[in-house]
Structure 1
Amino acid sequence: MNKFQEIISFIKSIYPEKDFIPLHEPKFLGNEKKYLCDAIDSTFVSSVGAYVNKFEEMIAEIAGTQYAVATVNGTSALHMAMLVAGVKRDDLVITQSLTFIATCNAISYIGAEPVFLDVDRSSAGLSPESLEHWLKNNTYLKTDKDIGKLNCYHHLTNKRVAAVVPMHTFGHPVMIEEIVNICENYGIPVVEDAAESLGSSYRGRQTGGFGLLGTFSFNGNKTVTCGGGGAIVTNDGDMAKKAKHLTTQAKVPHQWEFIHDEIGYNYRMPNLNAALACAQLEQLQKLITDKRAIAETYKAFFSDKAYHYFDEPPNSRSNFWLNAVLFSDKKERDEFLAISNAAQVMTRPVWRPMHQLPMFKEFLKDGLENTNYLADRLVNIPSSARF
């Protein structure tokens, strides 16, 4: 018996009915088929329909924000949120290197440049300490006379730091309140990448609702899904209106004329997807309750093992989208990945850090000590709800 067989056997005991255990599969438990048929019968299957409106209302309520805008996926939501927050070509956007590539792709769509700062080991999300240290030692503040607004600029390039985009990794909240407070001192808007953290909270508040804007994803592997889909949330009515306008091809409302007043995007969520999403959102708390129970089971199992279970950080309540384990080094990590996948138990390493990818390796970054440490050791293990 190899040294990882005990872990593999335990995972199989959590999902005993499965010959192949996926990392995370969707669960359709309620009104999904009913709402889909209703949307089909209505003939409103594209980006206009009652379920799109209902979905936006449900997401705003969950996030604790006044407004929500439905989008076709999480990447488009993040792209649009940064655009309406004022990010422009050649601006700098501070984020973490330990993230899914969609975060940096969305920055690149605008023509802005990412700045990669280190994460905390407790959350695998952007570190407030790293953020404050980098801003203090690498930027200066200036009031732009033409708009009368305080802006933050990078010392060496004189490029504007236009946004900070923290990502709540695997559903574990970053110290988002601290990040927002730091950014307020520098006049930098926060756009939360909450793609993975629907239902997670920090200090009692839902992630996504702390920043100027927040974004969610409803991809097929998320806690709740509509196949594809995303959402922008905000308390700023003007920004919500702007986001809805731009995601609808910037079409000026008119009974029959096709008039567009700026470059727009085909980013609105179809009513069919929204119907599925509404049914899934009705099951959100049930899913999270089971996923948190699975996390407790994993936590207990790993408590006396040589491997570190990646638990929720302080002051947080995580949806435990993906459970994770830290191994002693990259060699041990790779050995477990090979053995577990050969045993039909799907496991995977964390994403390759963005600063190691060819298209992002030349951008500004700090030492990234924790980023590199986690990237070499972290493995996601099966996390599907059991229904």
Structure 2
Amino acid sequence: MEQELHFDSIISFIRGMYPEKSYVGLHEPVFCGNERKYVLDAIDSTYVSSVGSYVNLFEEMMAKITGTRYAVAIVNGTNALHIALMLAGVTRGEEVITQALTFIATANAISYNGAYPVFVDVDNDTLGMSPEALSSFLANNVVKKSDGAYNKITGRRIAACVPMHTFGLPCRIDEIRQICDNWNIPLVEDAAESLGSYYDGKHTGSFGLVGVFSFNGNKTVTSGGGGAIVTDDECIARRAKHLTTQAKVPHRWDFVHDEIGYNFRMPNLNAAFACAQLEQLDKFISDKRLLAKAYEDFFGRIGVPFMKEIPEATANYWLNAILFQDRTHRDSFLAFSNNNGVMTRPVWELMTRLKMFRDCQSDGLSNSIWIADRLVNIPSGFRSR
């Protein structure tokens, strides 16, 4: 009952953060830079599809921002993760360890490769994969062989591990990397939500063999639809670009394709938009971190847990989140806030609660279940323009 008494004050505080809005959305994009100029320039150039100067510039900017050697522009984050898993060597009938507390794109991308997701728990303070849970699962269920790690129950090879930096809060990715290295399991980072987030001063997405980002309409930086793969491996970067361009052998006029490829390259129009947004990344992150600090102070005063970065991390706070004492209070607040012109939402349904993945192996997911019953995302959009 105590938390219910705060519903009015929470809504009032959120509205005070966005005084000019009659309806407060969850995360609306802001276009206050060179978006229109660059898009019109791309149109005037007539290069509006997957070839153009802005695609090249976008890749250069992403590599510089993430501190990686290479970036490859992809049409969206889901396709980027699909290809990233292929690049890591995932094939049909194998298994990929990930977290159940994630957006469905993570599990879908595993399925696109004909692989089976295996779900391990998250840490309560990061919402990302728990190194302890990963280590325990491997110790109890997996055996090392000369050609990799194998699930003792299913007999399938563990082809990759995909942790996610949930809502832009970095998980303990250094520990996860060490565990994966020890077990010879390729690490693919789902950094879709964490552009501008760092762990120990190193950008998310740059710890694994490959990292993946999304530029969907509700992300910190958007291109309407878009994604990126980043890596330090030149061969992987070249193959990523080849596979996502229909595996066409470069030639001025011949159309020869040397394997099954995909039409997954980001169009120049989207890249132009993304470049203008990336130019404003520092301003966007500064604004979002100020908002998160205001939320942290407010919710601390009224005794409602607010999800914040761990000491080793610097988060972009893509989506801010609070925790209620149980599912009943969570649902009551969701109804109250949305009925009063403030958009809030629960975390995604756990993957193991969806019919497609309910039979997948998991470790019990005690933290994930606890969080899923209590977490609410609150408005996290930009306030400065």
Q: Taking structure 1 as the reference length, what is the TM-score of the superposition?
A: 0.98
The match for 1:124 is: 127
> What are the equivalent positions in structure 2 for 1:346-365 lying under 5 Å apart?
346-365=343-362
Aligned partner of 2:321 among 324, 337, 350: 324
Aligned partner of 1:340 among 337, 340, 349: 337
Matched, 1:95 2:98: yes
Matched, 1:289 2:286: yes
- Distance in 2 between the 1:120 and 1:175 partners? 9
Number of residues of Structure 1 aligned to a counterpart in Structure 2: 381
For residue 286 of structure 1, give the secondary structure of its aligned residue in structure 2: helix
Residues 51 and 267 of structure 2 are in contact (CA less than 8 Å); yes or no, is this contact kept in structure 1? Answer: yes
Amino acid at match of 1:44: Y
- Distance in 1 between the 2:297 and 2:290 partners? 11
Q: How far did 1:282 drift?
A: 0.3
Matched, 1:370 2:373: no
Aligned partner of 2:46 among 43, 47, 54: 43
Q: How far did 1:105 drift?
A: 0.5
Matched, 1:153 2:144: no
The match for 2:378 is: 381
Aligned partner of 2:110 among 99, 107, 112: 107
For residue 373 of structure 2, give the secondary structure of its aligned residue in structure 1: helix
- Distance in 2 between the 1:186 and 1:3 partners? 47
- Distance in 1 between the 2:253 and 2:33 partners? 39
Matched, 1:210 2:207: yes
Matched, 1:30 2:27: no
For residue 4 of structure 1, give the secondary structure of its aligned residue in structure 2: helix
The match for 2:165 is: 168
For residue 9 of structure 1, give the secondary structure of its aligned residue in structure 2: helix
The match for 2:22 is: 19
- Distance in 1 between the 2:159 and 2:173 partners? 18
The match for 1:272 is: 269
What is the CA RMSD across the aligned residues, in angstroms?
0.8
Q: Which moved more, 1:302-311 or 1:117-126?
A: 302-311
Amino acid at match of 2:137: W
- Distance in 1 between the 2:49 and 2:309 partners? 38
- Distance in 2 between the 1:255 and 1:31 partners? 33
Structure 2 gaps, min length 5: none
Amino acid at match of 1:344: G
For residue 179 of structure 1, give the secondary structure of its aligned residue in structure 2: helix
For residue 159 of structure 2, give the secondary structure of its aligned residue in structure 1: strand
Q: Deviations over 1:233-259 (max 9, x none)?
A: 000100110110000000011111111
For residue 288 of structure 1, give the secondary structure of its aligned residue in structure 2: helix
Q: Taking structure 2 as the reference length, what is the TM-score of the superposition?
A: 0.98
Aligned partner of 1:306 among 291, 303, 306: 303
Q: Deviations over 1:91-145 (max 9, x none)?
A: 110000000000000000011000000000000000000000000111111113x
- Distance in 1 between the 2:27 and 2:261 partners? 34
- Distance in 1 between the 2:264 and 2:99 partners? 25
- Distance in 2 between the 1:360 and 1:223 partners? 29
Q: How far did 1:29 drift?
A: 1.6
- Distance in 2 between the 1:241 and 1:376 partners? 43
Q: Percent identity?
A: 62
For residue 319 of structure 1, give the secondary structure of its aligned residue in structure 2: coil
- Distance in 2 between the 1:214 and 1:327 partners? 32
- Distance in 1 between the 2:201 and 2:300 partners? 27
Amino acid at match of 1:378: L
Q: How far did 1:89 drift?
A: 0.5
The match for 2:138 is: 135
The match for 2:177 is: 180
Q: Deviations over 1:293-325 (max 9, x none)?
A: 000100110112231111112300000000000
Matched, 1:238 2:241: no
For residue 299 of structure 1, give the secondary structure of its aligned residue in structure 2: helix
Q: Deviations over 1:186-206 (max 9, x none)?
A: 000100000000000000000
Matched, 1:71 2:74: yes
Residues 66 and 203 of structure 2 are in contact (CA less than 8 Å); yes or no, is this contact kept in structure 1? Answer: yes
Q: How far did 1:157 drift?
A: 1.4
For residue 304 of structure 1, give the secondary structure of its aligned residue in structure 2: helix
Amino acid at match of 2:296: K
Amino acid at match of 1:39: A
Amino acid at match of 1:173: P
Q: How far did 1:65 drift?
A: 0.6
- Distance in 2 between the 1:203 and 1:2 partners? 39
Matched, 1:191 2:188: yes
- Distance in 2 between the 1:133 and 1:2 partners? 41
The 4+ residue runs of structure 1 with deviation greater than 4 A are none
Residues 76 and 214 of structure 2 are in contact (CA less than 8 Å); yes or no, is this contact kept in structure 1? Answer: yes
The match for 1:147 is: none
Q: How far did 1:45 drift?
A: 0.2
Residues 321 and 375 of structure 2 are in contact (CA less than 8 Å); yes or no, is this contact kept in structure 1? Answer: yes
